[in-house]
Structure 1
């Protein structure tokens, strides 16, 4: 951190951020997921807060050809594309990054519904997307019951995750 000033960014659902060593990114996740990308060589990173795997109208291959103005970071496939584009603008190639994935929690474990819970679909989609882009996943904290508080320190590449039961109120990031 050259200037000594740390910029704190809090991601709301559907947002992403890209930063350097002066940046720490935080969020709170339930069934949503965050993908954190970090380039150790340049100490540049990005993180998303995605609600769903995709819109259902595009897949990994199709996203690459879309106009950036049409992309929406609420969807994991589109958020990853937006983050990779911003990283490329900072001379960071996808192959130089590693990834960490968080979230996909079951917020209502007592409710038994048909099909795969949205949190599990989100986490599995993140794994597939990163594999399709050739990005190694070095760590993950996925699934289980409740929500997570996440903090990503881009200077070190460290991501802290704290999982709390679904009945605890979200009172802000306590990390």
Structure 2
């Protein structure tokens, strides 16, 4: 199996059989996967902040931000043949890593930024494992569409998607 590492502020898409996209260290960051079950195209974005206006510049690295990284991820998947009507979108991360006394909760802002960006594109997340205080690792098997998540030192779990928006389940 080909392992495709997606770093912080990175966005990758693949149509390669037996490829697995993986990202580590999702604390307050969000890892978002998209998968088209018909053409077997998968993509993974690991973004750091919700809005490119919060950073040093819109053009520096679009994958650092939800508002520019999500459209970038979708474009990469569409270029490989994915169809927006068939996309299964899942996400993880957005944890509260800093003290609860901190005024700016980056994890919560990242979750809101993702929902806003997807809503503007007419899309929504079908499954998520966000919030809490644990760091997460996620992987997406491009052929099967299976998204696995590991929280802290816990065993891997599968994050399954429902066609009903906002429903999240693990098994």
Query: Normalising by structure 1, what TM-score?
Result: 0.77
Tell me which residue corresponds to 1:62.
none
Tell me which residue corresponds to 1:118.
106
Q: 1:15 aligns with which of 10, 18, 21?
A: 10
Structure with more strand by fraction: 2
User: 8 Å contact 1:31–1:106 — kept in the other structure?
Assistant: yes
Aligned-partner Cα distance in 2 for 1:32–1:124: 12
Q: 1:36 aligns with which of 33, 36, 42?
A: 33
Matched, 1:131 2:107: no
Aligned length: 151
Aligned-partner Cα distance in 2 for 1:159–1:18: 14
Q: What's the C-alpha RMSD, in Å, of the aligned pairs?
A: 2.3
Tell me which residue corresponds to 1:60.
none
Aligned-partner Cα distance in 2 for 1:47–1:159: 10
Aligned-partner Cα distance in 2 for 1:91–1:111: 43
Aligned-partner Cα distance in 1 for 2:77–2:149: 23
User: 8 Å contact 1:95–1:135 — kept in the other structure?
Assistant: no
Map 1:67-86 to 2 at 5 A.
72-86=62-76
Deviations 1:75-129 (A, max 9, x none): 1121111111112212223222120011001123x451124x0011101211222
Map 1:1-175 to 2 at 5 A.
6-20=1-15, 21-28=17-24, 29-56=26-53, 72-108=62-98, 110-115=99-104, 117-164=105-152
Aligned-partner Cα distance in 2 for 1:34–1:93: 20
Query: Normalising by structure 2, what TM-score?
Result: 0.79
Give the 4+ runs in structure 1 shifted more than 3 A. none
Larger gyration radius, structure 1 or structure 2: 1
Gaps spanning 5+ residues in structure 2: where?
157-171
Aligned-partner Cα distance in 1 for 2:61–2:8: 15
Aligned-partner Cα distance in 2 for 1:158–1:127: 22
